[in-house]
Amino acid sequence: MLRWSWLLVVGTACSTSVGTGPSTTVDAAVDGGFPTDSGGAPDLGLRPDGGAEPDSAVTDALPQDQGFAEDAAVPDTGPTGPTVDRTDPQRYRFTFTAAELDPTATLALGNQLAVLDTRAEPLGRLVVYLHGAGLPTNCGASGHADFLADLGFHVLMPCYVSNYGVGNCGADIGGCRLEAFEGVDHHNFIEIGPADAIEPRVVKMLEHLSTTNPEGDWSWFLDQGRPRWSAIVVSGISHGASTSGLIGKYRDVAKVVMLSGPLDTGQAWLALPALTPIERYFGFTHTGDGQHPGHLEAFETLGLPGAPTSIDDTPAPYGGSHRLQSSAPTNDGHGSTQLGGASPTAPDGAYLFDPVWRAMYLD
């Protein structure tokens, strides 16, 4: 049995020098710190998820939320969106580790990314984007973040624990994913405390950005010290797609956008009632991905609207289907659904999946 110990102590880090504190880049055109997404780039967490054992027998639902999550449904108050200062339009990019914001964080300490582009009309929505399985040095995808920021989203790409191997979670992969999200005990194989969990890290990131980038009014996405989930799109690729789908079960979020996932075939969490209406769930998979059949099965179990629909020969909004797929040429079907080096392009350089990304993320 693998066990990780933790101790929660409130702390912050304010340094902005390279190597000793959060990094801030204000640049209208240049990528500030994250590598260009390409097939030869460092590991961005896009390794395929292991999924469940084929003969997994699941009968029990996941445990109920406790601790930090008990009263997650907090009524929204105040302004209807963040007050973004656009007097000096530009792209803001910030990188920092979880330990720089909370010295008690000990796991998944890669570079987290936040992006806001004030040249775009703000949508009043935050995208929390989750990387795939592993321990990436840079937690997210710079190109995908820029695309979302160009649409008007605030964007956070946190690091989180995703290297435990879902096969070790047996018939309760959902319990592992929920613990990695909340930092509350849900599975006896892992021990992930609040300082190393997704939800508390999102809070820390927003608190930090509220002071380092007041132009973005990031604190609007907090309500009584918790994420304002009703204004947050949860998204991710591969392992992150599955975790995004599970988060929508336990939080009423603005949208769930799942790229190359979910996969957890036969797992109980896929069939659980969801706080987020299923009409707000979207899935996108590539037929050249070895996990593609599992994705379609998960779409069916989740009850996503519509039938599997090819975006290659059906224009947006794809007949209203939320089960989207492509067979466009690529050398990496699994990684292609995220904007980057594996995503197919037209002769003019435009990304072929631009319309489907817009259809899924935008209202």
At 279, the pLDDT band (50, 70, 90 cuts) reads very high
Give the separation between CA 71 and CA 224, rounded to whole angstroms.
11
HSE-CB of 247 using CA atoms within 13 angstroms: 31
Give the separation between CA 181 and CA 158, rounded to whole angstroms.
11
User: Rounded to 5 degrees, what angle do the CA atoms 352, 27, 140 make?
Assistant: 50
- Tell me the domain boundaries of the chain: 86-282
Q: How far apart are the first and last CA of the chain?
A: 44
Question: CB of 127 within 8 A of CB of 144?
Answer: no
pLDDT in tens, 316-349: 999 999 999 999 999 999 999 999 999 999 999 9
- Residue range 113-141: average pLDDT? 97
- Tell me which of 2.60.40, 3.40.50, 3.30.450, 3.40.190 is the CATH number of domain 86-282: 3.40.50
Q: Which of 196, 222, 23, 185 is nearest to 103 (CA)?
A: 196
- Residue range 122-147: average pLDDT? 96
At 276 the three-state DSSP class reads coil
At 272 the three-state DSSP class reads coil
Q: Hey, which residues does 285 pair with through a beta bridge?
A: 325
Per-residue model confidence (pLDDT) at position 78: 52
CA separation, residue 305 to residues 162, 259, 263 (Å): 28, 16, 18
- DSSP H stretches of helix in the chain: 98-101, 142-151, 173-182, 198-212, 239-250, 292-302, 333-336, 354-361
pLDDT in tens, 208-262: 999 999 999 999 999 999 999 999 999 999 999 999 999 999 999 999 999 999 9
* pLDDT beyond 90 at 290: yes
Can you read off the two tokens belonging to residue 304? 């996503």
